[in-house]
Copies of this chain bind each other. A is one copy, B any other.
Amino acid sequence: MSDVPPVAPRNGLPPRSRNNDVIERIKTYILDKQLRPGDLLPTENELIAAIGASRTSIREAIKSLSALDIVEVRHGHGSYVGRMSMNALVESLAFRGLLSTGTDGKVMTDLVNIRQMLEQGLSPLMIETLNDVELANLRELAVRMRRLAMEGQPYVEEDRAFHIRLMNAIGNDLVTQLTEAFWQVQARVAPTLKVEEADWLRTAEAHEAIVDAIGAKDVDSLREAFATHYDPIRRTIAALFADQTPGSAE
Residues of A within 8 A of B (CB): 19, 27, 30-31, 34-37, 56, 59-60, 63-70, 84-86, 88-89, 91-93, 95-96, 98-99, 102, 106-107, 110-111, 113-114, 117-122, 125, 172-175, 178
A92 touches B84 (CB 8 A): yes
How far apart are the CA atoms of A70 and B64 in the complex, in Å?
12
Q: A60 touches which one: B34, B59, B120 (CB < 8 A)?
A: B59
How far apart are the CA atoms of A36 and B36 in the complex, in Å?
38
Q: Chain A at the B interface: mostly helix, strand, loop or mixed?
A: helix
How far apart are the CA atoms of A175 and B121 in the complex, in Å?
13
Residues of B contacting A34 in the complex (Cβ-Cβ under 8 angstroms) = 102
Given contacts A64-B67, A84-B96, A111-B174, 4 further A-B contacts (CB under 8 A): A70-B91, A107-B174, A117-B118, A120-B121
Q: How far is the CB of A22 from chain B (nearest CB, A)?
A: 11
Residues of B contacting A178 in the complex (Cβ-Cβ under 8 angstroms) = 114
Residues of B contacting A19 in the complex (Cβ-Cβ under 8 angstroms) = 63
B92 touches A68 (CB 8 A): yes
Residue of B nearest to A106 (CB): B173
The 5 closest A-B pairs by CB, nearest first: A121-B121, A88-B88, A67-B67, A110-B174, A84-B96
B68 touches A88 (CB 8 A): yes
A95 touches B172 (CB 8 A): no
How far apart are the CA atoms of A22 and B169 in the complex, in Å?
40
How far apart are the CA atoms of A125 and B110 in the complex, in Å?
14
Residues of B contacting A95 in the complex (Cβ-Cβ under 8 angstroms) = 27, 68, 70, 84
How far apart are the CA atoms of A118 and B65 in the complex, in Å?
29
How far apart are the CA atoms of A37 and B59 in the complex, in Å?
27
User: With A67-B67, A99-B31 in contact, is A172–B59 under 8 Å at CB?
Assistant: no
How far apart are the CA atoms of A102 and B63 in the complex, in Å?
26
Residues of B contacting A88 in the complex (Cβ-Cβ under 8 angstroms) = 67-68, 88-89, 91-92
Residues of B contacting A114 in the complex (Cβ-Cβ under 8 angstroms) = 172, 174-175, 178
Chain A to chain B contacts (Cβ below 8 Å), 5 pairs: A63-B63, A64-B66, A64-B67, A68-B92, A86-B92
